[in-house]
């Protein structure tokens, strides 16, 4: 619980200070188990700090509110709202001069230094794995390494950032780090630095955990999405999912499926590709994560400016059978959820060699589609007929709570207008401060 947010909202509604303090103290006692006397002192101190930071007018202490919440807009939910918000972030960053920058909407950023491509990626742990720190650390590390590999880079180091709320057990940090280093040590990529903090300091009570893991890698040849070309084929490996599938299995009671996600198949497949002589002939690679194939293929088509056609039947055979049965039982779209498969985009002769290489190391793969000239769009081939293949507003609802939230949708076009306004305000502030700081 964010006690600062609670106090600030109630002050704004005009509630009396003593009523806010009393109600907040009740919640502090409930969550922290403290004495009533301590809770009242705690709540009073919170109100003092919130009052001191209310009604500020300085340019750098205020921001233009969109009036649209993260949840309502689907930010972080790997759908159309999330993709739109990320394009706004890219606008605020602007042209960075990077070899592959945020405007490319790719899995990693790339700069050139010392005659090599330096690749950097970062992934946040799955928010619903807070109570399962080892799983959270394992899967987020696998995710950031995937993003490095699919840019054609060999990972050389990991960094970690973990935040646990005030009442969280210190052991969460240790179990999370054990998950991170399990992947790191088995792939010979060292964890070299990081940060450990409390979420919101004293102002957030409870035991929620969040964090991220990043990777730095080096490459001689990059495989960015924009390099896809007409005539390319799409080769996909079998996937058993990561944090998303583990979360689905946990919260629907399919606990045996969680174990299917504990593997390094993707990383070993990608490493084999990088060690082969095929890498220089591969146009692009990605991992099937952001909103599943619906999200990734949509972004690839937009970035490459080409038509991407995906065959549904070919994809179905590449989802781990245990995972696929669970998704079918729960009526979750396998095409709209992260399954953590490797997707390789190249000309047919290269794809044939890549498939043979993957087969030699025991990794199943199949051609699932192709790239064509034409309007930049994703297309699904279902029962021999072409259909639209767009991402949904959010990634396929994969927990009971997400299925409920999915039903509560607002006017997306209206929200976009407000988000645009807020993004432009942030750009304007950036320019004002930059102008002020110029020598």
Nearest to 317 by CA among 285, 341, 345, 299: 341
266 assigned to some structural domain: yes
212 assigned to some structural domain: yes
Phi, psi for residue 116 in degrees, rounded to 5: -130, 165
Same domain, 204 and 331: no
Same domain, 231 and 359: yes
77 assigned to some structural domain: yes
Same domain, 260 and 216: no
What residues make up the domain containing 30?
3-55
Same domain, 218 and 115: yes
pLDDT at 399: 78
Same domain, 421 and 380: no
pLDDT at 226: 86
Same domain, 8 and 119: no
Same domain, 260 and 197: no
Q: Name the domain boundary from 171, 189, 222.
A: 222
Same domain, 247 and 387: yes
Q: What region, left, alpha or beta, does residue 76 occupy, with left being phi > 0 and alpha being psi -120 to 50 degrees?
A: left
**Sign of the CA dihedral running 130, 135, 140, 141:** positive
pLDDT at 409: 64
99 assigned to some structural domain: no
Residues of the chain with pLDDT under 70: 395-396, 406-409
Q: What CATH number does residue 279 fall under?
A: 3.90.650.10
208 assigned to some structural domain: yes
231 assigned to some structural domain: yes
Q: What CATH number does residue 165 fall under?
A: 3.30.1330.10
Same domain, 168 and 217: yes
Same domain, 260 and 150: no
Q: Name the domain boundary from 174, 193, 222.
A: 222
297 assigned to some structural domain: yes
* CA within 13 Å, CB half, 114: 4
Tell me the per-residue pLDDT of 212-225, one tens digit each, with 9 for 90 and over.
Answer: 999 999 999 888 88
Same domain, 76 and 31: no
Q: Name the domain boundary from 222, 244, 276.
A: 222
pLDDT at 27: 95
Tell me the per-residue pLDDT of 253-288, one tens digit each, with 9 for 90 and over.
Answer: 999 999 999 999 999 999 999 999 999 999 999 999
249 assigned to some structural domain: yes
Same domain, 216 and 310: no
Count how many domains the chain has. Answer: 4
DSSP E strand stretches across 241-384: 284-287, 307-311, 342-346, 365-372, 377-382
Phi, psi for residue 43 in degrees, rounded to 5: -60, -40
Q: What letter does residue 206 receive in the DSSP assignment?
A: S
Q: How far apart are CA 152 and CA 150, in angstroms?
A: 5
């Amino acid at each position: 619980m964010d006690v600062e947010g609670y106090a600030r909202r109630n002050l704004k509604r005009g509630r009396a200070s003593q009523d806010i303090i009393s109600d907040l103290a009740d919640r502090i006692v409930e969550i922290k188990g403290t004495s009533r006397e301590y809770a009242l002192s705690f709540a009073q101190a919170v109100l003092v700090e919130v009052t001191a930071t209310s009604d500020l007018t300085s340019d750098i202490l205020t921001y233009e509110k969109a009036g649209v919440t993260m949840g309502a807009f689907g930010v972080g939910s790997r759908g159309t709202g999330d993709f739109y918000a990320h394009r706004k972030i890219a606008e605020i960053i602007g042209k960075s001069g990077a070899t592959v920058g945020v405007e490319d909407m790719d899995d990693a950023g790339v700069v050139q230094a010392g005659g090599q491509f330096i690749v950097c990626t970062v992934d946040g742990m799955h928010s619903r794995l807070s109570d399962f720190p080892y799983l959270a650390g394992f899967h987020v590390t696998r995710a950031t390494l995937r993003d490095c590999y699919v840019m054609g880079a060999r990972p050389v180091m990991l960094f970690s950032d973990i935040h646990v709320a005030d009442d969280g057990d210190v052991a969460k940090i240790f179990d999370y780090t054990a998950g991170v280093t399990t992947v790191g040590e088995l792939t010979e990529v060292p964890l070299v630095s990081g940060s450990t903090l409390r979420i919101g300091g004293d102002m957030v009570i409870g035991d929620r955990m969040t964090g991220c893991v990043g990777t730095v890698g080096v490459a001689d040849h990059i495989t960015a999405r924009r390099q896809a070309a007409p005539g390319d084929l799409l080769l996909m490996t079998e996937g058993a999912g990561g944090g998303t599938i583990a979360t689905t299995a946990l919260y629907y009671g399919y606990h045996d499926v969680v174990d299917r996600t504990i593997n390094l198949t993707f990383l070993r497949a990608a490493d084999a590709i990088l060690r082969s002589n095929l890498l220089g002939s591969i146009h692009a690679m990605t991992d099937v994560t952001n909103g599943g194939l619906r999200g990734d293929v949509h972004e690839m088509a937009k970035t490459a400016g080409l038509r991407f056609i995906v065959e549904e039947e070919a994809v179905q055979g590449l989802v781990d059978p245990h995972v696929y049965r669970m998704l079918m039982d729960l009526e979750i779209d396998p095409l709209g959820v992260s399954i953590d498969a490797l997707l390789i985009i190249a000309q047919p002769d290269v794809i044939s060699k890549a498939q043979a290489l993957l087969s030699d190391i025991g990794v199943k793969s199949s051609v699932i589609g192709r790239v064509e000239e034409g309007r930049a769009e994703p297309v699904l081939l279902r029962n021999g007929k072409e259909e639209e293949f767009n991402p949904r507003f959010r990634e396929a609802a994969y927990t009971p709570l997400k299925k409920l939230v999915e039903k509560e949708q607002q006017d997306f076009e209206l929200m976009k207008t407000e988000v645009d306004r807020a993004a432009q305000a942030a750009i304007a502030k950036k320019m004002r401060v930059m102008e002020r700081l110029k020598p």
